[in-house]
């Protein structure tokens, strides 16, 4: 297929595809799906070999968020039966992180619900970062705390944070359909603050909210312009009790096409499969490793993920290897472009603002008031028809951080 040959050539040169080419990837047929995966896989292996980076989420503060992000189970007005608790103490967070690190995770993503951190919250998280790094010197730490005020990114960097996550989630033109309590520009501003402070910027998207192919291409091109080191790709988890509970718009095949499009547009960037992979990719998760070079290990913020042991077996069985602590995630030219900053040679994960379901591990829904049927409907002409709901695959997290039960790692 001439399209795929062109995209491979461009990916190896770090040349941006045209919008028409990106849209064409999303429009390919199921008959061509393996060809699409193989082509994007060439680009992935060129920049990242067969390494898979493991990340681990710690939900520092769960639920009770004042923001109305329509995709989030922690949002204002959410009736999802999730865990709700206030800030973990530094030693509690460090213990939670240790479980993921023992399972092979290289990066710990510290996430807290809320619009954004107060200065006291930054102090809390700084203490937590120091506690984690005292026990695990080589660990990378990514913070995901919402909208940042001036000077907060610098304080997190001084405390030892390597990265900051804040997702764009969807296109600028439809952003107001999923969130009303902050703006798309607010999110862009926070990503820029992280960059300016010397943190590795992590910013991604959520697919499956009723968006069109054009919306998906718009947000990925916007991400390319922001130049994050890490792009988490979330697939909406339609939680009962949220306005998007009936939005089952994804198939495994569509998820793979979305990941392939992201890889072609962002060839040399860490692409992470984040929240929802178990729900929507299901038995086709191993194929996604040919497109993305990073995943979360174990559970997410408010939902359960695949067993950590199963994640490790999947990586090995698919012919990939877990990236070691001494290996640099990003290609050398990206690290050098950041002045050799170690954190730019890692990755990040996350979401943003109150509902940020953590490092790209979104989980949840709502931001159009309560009208789920109208959420994210702008420009849905090319979106696929809704799929059969698989609510059996959505399990609320009841273990790990904030509980007395052992975590899944």
Are 279 and 237 within 8 A, CB to CB? yes
Q: Which of 44, 75, 109, 368 is catalytic?
A: 109
Q: Is 202 annotated as a binding residue?
A: yes
Q: Which of 44, 72, 334, 368 is catalytic?
A: 72
Helix (H, G, I), strand (E, B) or coil at 160: coil
Annotation marks residue 359 as catalytic: no
Annotation marks residue 272 as catalytic: yes
Q: How far is CA 36 from CA 20, 30, 73, in A?
A: 16, 10, 33
Q: Which of 44, 51, 65, 124 is catalytic?
A: 65
Annotation marks residue 263 as catalytic: no
Q: Is 375 annotated as a binding residue?
A: no
Q: Is 261 exposed, middle or buried (0-12, 13-18, 19+ CB in 10 A)?
A: buried
Pairing of strands 294-296, 107-112: unpaired
Q: What are the φ and ψ backbone dihedral angles of 53, each rounded to 5 degrees?
A: -85, 130
Q: What are the φ and ψ backbone dihedral angles of 274, each rounded to 5 degrees?
A: -110, -140
Helix (H, G, I), strand (E, B) or coil at 396: strand
Report d(CA 74, CA 111) in Å as an integer. Answer: 12
Q: Which of 202, 255, 353, 368 is catalytic?
A: 202
Category of 169 on φ-ψ map: left (φ > 0), alpha (ψ -120 to 50) or beta: left
Annotation marks residue 255 as catalytic: no
Annotation marks residue 69 as catalytic: yes
Q: Which of 44, 107, 124, 142 is catalytic?
A: 142
| Cα 165–Cα 169–Cα 173 angle in degrees, nearest 5 | 135
Q: Which of 51, 157, 187, 272 is catalytic?
A: 272
Q: Is 272 annotated as a binding residue?
A: yes
Q: Which of 44, 51, 69, 375 is catalytic?
A: 69
Report d(CA 313, CA 331) in Å as an integer. Answer: 26
Q: Is 72 annotated as a binding residue?
A: yes
Strand partners, 295: 54, 273
Q: Is 51 annotated as a binding residue?
A: no
Q: How far is CA 271 from CA 43, 179, 213, in A?
A: 12, 25, 19
User: How are the residues of the chain apportioned to helix, strand and coil, as percentages rounded to the nearest 5?
Assistant: 40, 10, 50
Q: Return the structure tokens found at 9.
A: 């050539």
Report d(CA 242, CA 364) in Å as an integer. Answer: 7
Report d(CA 255, CA 274) in Å as an integer. Answer: 12
List, by residue number, the catalytic residues.
65, 69, 72, 109, 142, 202, 272
Positions at the binding site for [4Fe-4S] cluster: 65, 69, 72
Positions at the binding site for [2Fe-2S] cluster: 109, 142, 202, 272
Positions at the binding site: 65, 69, 72, 109, 142, 202, 272
């Amino acid at each position: 297929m001439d399209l795929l040959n062109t995209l491979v050539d461009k990916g190896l040169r770090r040349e941006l595809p045209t919008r028409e080419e990106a849209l064409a990837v999303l429009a390919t047929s199921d008959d061509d799906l393996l060809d699409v995966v193989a082509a994007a896989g060439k680009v992935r292996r060129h920049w990242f070999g067969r390494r898979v980076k493991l990340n681990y989420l710690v939900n520092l503060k769960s639920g009770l968020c004042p923001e109305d992000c329509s995709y989030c189970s922690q949002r204002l007005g959410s009736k999802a039966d999730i865990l709700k608790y206030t800030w973990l103490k530094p030693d509690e967070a460090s213990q939670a992180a240790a479980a993921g690190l023992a399972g092979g995770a290289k990066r710990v993503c510290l996430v807290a619900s809320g619009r954004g951190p107060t200065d006291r919250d930054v102090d809390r998280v700084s203490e937590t970062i120091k506690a984690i790094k005292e026990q695990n010197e080589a660990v990378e730490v990514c913070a995901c705390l919402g909208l940042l005020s001036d000077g907060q990114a610098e304080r997190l960097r001084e405390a030892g944070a390597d990265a900051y996550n804040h997702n764009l989630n969807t296109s600028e033109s439809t952003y107001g359909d999923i969130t009303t309590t902050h703006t798309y520009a607010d999110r862009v501003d926070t990503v820029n603050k992280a960059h300016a402070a010397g943190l590795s910027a992590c910013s991604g998207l959520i697919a499956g909210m009723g968006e069109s192919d054009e919306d998906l291409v718009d947000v990925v091109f916007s991400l390319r312009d922001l130049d994050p080191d890490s792009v988490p790709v979330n697939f909406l988890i339609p939680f009962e009790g949220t306005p998007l509970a009936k939005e089952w718009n994804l198939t495994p095949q569509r998820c793979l096409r979305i990941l392939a499009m992201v890889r072609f547009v962002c060839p040399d960037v860490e692409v992470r499969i984040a929240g929802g992979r178990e729900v929507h990719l299901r038995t086709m998760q191993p194929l996604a490793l040919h497109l993305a070079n990073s995943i979360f290990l174990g559970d997410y913020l408010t939902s359960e993920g695949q067993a950590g042991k199963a994640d490790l077996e999947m990586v090995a069985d698919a012919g990939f290897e877990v990236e070691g602590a001494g290996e640099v995630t990003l290609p050398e030219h990206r690290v050098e472009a950041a002045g050799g900053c170690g954190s730019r040679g890692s990755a990040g994960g996350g979401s943003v603002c109150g509902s940020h379901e953590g490092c790209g591990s979104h989980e949840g829904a709502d931001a159009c008031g309560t009208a789920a049927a109208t959420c994210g409907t702008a420009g849905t002409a090319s979106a696929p028809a809704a799929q059969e709901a698989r609510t059996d695959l959505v399990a609320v997290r009841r273990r790990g951080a904030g509980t007395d039960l052992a975590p899944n790692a």
